[in-house]
Structures are given as structure tokens and as C-alpha cells.
């Protein structure tokens, strides 16, 4: 599959630009890459620090609504596969959209969908390559530090492109199989966590995700299932 590629030295947000390509320019699939973002964001509009030297990559394409949940976890798994090929160990997947190395955040994924005659998926990926921000809520790291070498950013981008074309877009996957694989690498699995949804805090043991992609939180002998929210 051939995808048009839009490269920028600087842009406000690769995801926002992808959205405008769909709705304003009738371009329905492609890749947006930027050296840096001035208004990068994560889930719930949280700011994503986007200095030069890290990876900012968005891919967008039409999708069946029934495949939205599958893609969310499949993307994490595929990025993990790319990272371990750099001989990085202890790469874990944090529900629902982050990757950690040795318990430190290295990658965030922002998945958004829009309806414009049909469903479109916009997947933004930010990977700390040259540097990582200092954040009070959780530790961070970057690839150059974890590998003790300078990662070739263009090579990493090519790996991502190849990954999406060969393993994600228009492929058929079982969510049950994806959940099984995802649970092998789940961050904080079988540990006590706090989970926030609609300003309410739930506490319990994180048991991974079920075959529908819902987070499983166990408290005593009771299990709760969540399809959205955030770990705190």
C-alpha cells in the first residue's frame, strides 16, 4: 500500500493536520511527520512536550468501527516489537496508550476517530528518542539513553511505516489473540493500582484486559471492567 507522506520541520499538531487533510482536503489516508510540534497533545488534551530530536508521527486511514478497539492494543504491541529490536529489554505496555522501559515512560499514543462519510482512524505516536521531559507524576526516559547509542530517527520512522503497512492497516486480527499477547507485557499487572473515571477513584489489583479490551480491576473477590478512564 502506498501512502502519501507529509513532512514538516515544525507543526502545531500532526494529529490535527491529519484531521484537516481528511475533512478539508479529502485526503483519506496518509502519514504526517514533524521534527517538532508546538501544540502536541496527549489524551484529554494533556500537553505532549515535543522538542526537536524526538519522533512525532501520525498515520490516518479509513477503518471499520468494529476494529477500533483492536487497533489500540495492536499498535502498542507492534511498537514494542520495534523497540525490542534495538536490544531494549523490559518494554511494557501501559493501559491504554503508553509504552514504558524499565518502568519509565518512553512513548505515548493518541488514537482518535472521526466520521466523514465513513469512519477514519487517526493514530499519533510520540517516542522520546533524544530527550524526555521531566514530569512529576511519573518517570520518563528516552531511547538514546536506554540503548547507550544515538538512534537513527529516519530509520525508526521507516520501521514504523513498514509496521503499519505490513501488520496493521487492512489486516484481520482477533481481539482475543491481541488481548492474550498484550497481557504478557502489561505494565503493573497483578499490582495494586488506582483508576480514575468520571472524577471517581477505584482501587484494586490490575488483572490486565479481557477479550473485549476492557481493563480488569479486582477488589477482594469482585471484578470491575472499564473501557475508558485513566490510571493514577
Query: Structural domains in the chain?
Result: 5-184 (3.30.930.10), 192-231 (2.30.30.100)
**Whether residue 79 has pLDDT greater than 60:** yes
Question: Would you call the peptide bond into 142 cis, given omega within 30 degrees of 0 as the criterion?
Answer: no
d(CA 81, CA 35): 23
| Counts for the chain of helices (H) and strands (E), in that order | 5, 12
**Whether residue 45 has pLDDT greater than 70:** no
Average pLDDT over residues 87-97: 94
**Which pLDDT value is given to residue 43?**
64
Say how many residues make up the chain: 232
**Whether residue 44 has pLDDT greater than 60:** no
* Average pLDDT of the chain, as a whole number: 92
d(CA 152, CA 73): 26
Based on its alpha-carbon atoms, the radius of gyration of the chain, rounded to whole angstroms, reads 17
Q: What pLDDT, in 10s, does the model give residues 104-137?
A: 999 999 999 999 989 999 999 999 999 999 888 8
Average pLDDT over residues 68-95: 94
Amino acid at each position: 500500500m502506498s501512502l502519501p507522506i507529509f513532512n514538516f520541520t515544525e507543526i502545531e499538531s500532526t494529529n490535527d493536520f491529519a484531521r484537516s487533510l481528511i475533512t478539508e482536503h479529502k485526503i483519506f489516508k496518509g502519514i504526517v511527520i514533524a521534527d517538532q510540534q508546538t501544540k502536541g497533545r496527549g489524551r484529554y488534551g494533556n500537553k505532549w512536550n515535543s522538542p526537536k530530536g524526538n519522533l512525532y508521527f501520525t498515520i490516518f486511514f479509513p477503518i471499520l468501527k468494529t476494529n477500533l478497539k483492536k487497533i489500540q492494543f495492536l499498535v502498542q504491541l507492534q511498537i514494542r516489537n520495534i523497540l525490542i529490536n534495538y536490544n531494549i529489554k523490559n518494554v511494557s505496555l501501559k493501559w491504554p496508550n503508553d509504552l514504558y522501559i524499565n518502568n519509565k515512560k518512553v512513548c505515548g499514543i493518541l488514537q482518535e476517530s472521526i466520521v466523514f462519510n465513513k469512519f477514519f482512524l487517526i493514530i499519533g505516536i510520540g517516542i522520546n528518542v533524544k530527550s524526555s521531559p521531566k514530569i512529576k507524576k511519573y518517570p520518563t526516559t528516552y531511547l538514546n539513553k536506554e540503548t547507550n547509542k544515538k538512534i537513527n530517527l529516519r530509520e525508526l520512522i521507516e520501521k514504523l511505516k513498514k509496521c503499519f503497512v505490513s501488520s496493521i492497516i487492512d489486516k484481520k486480527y482477533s481481539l482475543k489473540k491481541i488481548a492474550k499477547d498484550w497481557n504478557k507485557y502489561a505494565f503493573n499487572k497483578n499490582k495494586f493500582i488506582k483508576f480514575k473515571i468520571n472524577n471517581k477513584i477505584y482501587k484494586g489489583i490490575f488483572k490486565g484486559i479481557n477479550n473485549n479490551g476492557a481493563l480488569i480491576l479486582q477488589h477482594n473477590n469482585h471484578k470491575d471492567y472499564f473501557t475508558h478512564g485513566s490510571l493514577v
